[in-house]
Amino acid sequence: MLHRPSAMYLSTRGGIADVPFDRVLLEGLAPDGGLYVPHAWPHWSAQAHQAAAWTSYAELSGRVLHDFVGDALPQEAVHTAAQKGADVFTHPAVTPLVQIGANLWLLELFHGPTLAFKDCAMQVMGHLTEAALAQSGERLLILTATSGDTGAAAVNAFAGREHVEMVVLHPKGRVSPIQRKQMTTVDAPNVLNLAVHGDFDDCQRLVKTLLQDESLRGAGRPPRRVSSVNSINWGRLAGQVTYYIAAASALGGRARFVVPTGNFGDAFAGWVAGRMGAGVESLTAAVNHNDALAQAINTGLYVRRPATPSSSVSMDVQAPSNLERLVFEATGRDPAAVRDVFDTFARDAEVVLGPTLTAPLQREVHAVSVDEGETHREIARVHGETGGYFICPHTAVGVGAARRLAAAGPPIVVLATAHAAKFPDAVRATLGVTAPTPPALAAVQDKPERVVDVEADLDAVKAAMAQMAVEG
Ligand SMILES: *Cc1c(COP(=O)(O)O)cnc(C)c1O
Which ranges of 15-87 would DSSP assign to H, the alpha helix?
A: 21-27, 46-51, 57-69, 75-87
pLDDT at 392 over 70: yes
**Of 84, 118, 172, 208, which one is the catalytic site residue?**
118
pLDDT band at 25 (very low <50, low <70, confident <90, very high): very high
pLDDT at 214: 83
Our answer on whether the CB atom of 149 is closer than 6 Å to any ligand 1 atom is yes
Q: Any idea what the Cα angle at residue 145 is, between residues 142 and 148, rounded to 5°?
A: 115
Give yes or no for a contact between 294 and 315, defined as CB atoms under 8 angstroms apart.
no
Rounded Cα–Cα distance for residues 455 and 172 (Å): 10
What value does the mean pLDDT take over residues 295-319?
A: 92
Select from 95, 106, 149 the residue to mutate for testing ligand 1; criterion: most ligand atoms less than 8 Å from CB. Answer: 149
Specify the ligand 1 atom closest to the Cα of 263.
Answer: 8
In the reported structure, the alpha carbon of residue 138 is separated from the centroid of ligand 1 by a whole-number distance in angstroms of: 30
Our answer on whether the CB atom of 264 is closer than 6 Å to any ligand 1 atom is yes
Rounded Cα–Cα distance for residues 253 and 299 (Å): 32
pLDDT at 189 over 90: yes
What value does the mean pLDDT take over residues 154-176?
A: 93
Longest dimension (CA), the chain: 61
Our answer on whether the CB atom of 422 is closer than 6 Å to any ligand 1 atom is no
Which segment of 116-125, 176-185, 277-286 scores lowest on mean pLDDT?
A: 176-185
Select from 175, 258, 263, 290 the residue to mutate for testing ligand 1; criterion: most ligand atoms less than 8 Å from CB. Answer: 263
Please state, in angstroms and as integers, the Cα–Cα distance from residue 159 to each residue in 76, 188, 396, following that order: 22, 6, 31
pLDDT band at 455 (very low <50, low <70, confident <90, very high): very high
Rounded Cα–Cα distance for residues 428 and 320 (Å): 29
Our answer on whether the CB atom of 260 is closer than 6 Å to any ligand 1 atom is yes
Specify the ligand 1 atom closest to the Cα of 394.
Answer: 11
pLDDT at 471 over 50: no
How does 33-42 read in b/e, with b if 16+ C-beta sit within 10 Å? bbbbbbbebb
What value does the mean pLDDT take over residues 365-393?
A: 98
pLDDT at 472: 42
Select from 314, 323, 325, 391 the residue to mutate for testing ligand 1; criterion: most ligand atoms less than 8 Å from CB. Answer: 314
Name the pTM for this structure: 0.96
What value does the mean pLDDT take over residues 227-243?
A: 94
pLDDT at 70: 96
Pick from 168-182, 243-257, 444-458 the range whose average pLDDT is largest. Answer: 243-257
* 118 catalytically annotated: yes
pLDDT in tens, 122-146: 999 999 999 999 999 999 999 999 9
pLDDT in tens, 92-110: 999 999 999 999 999 999 9
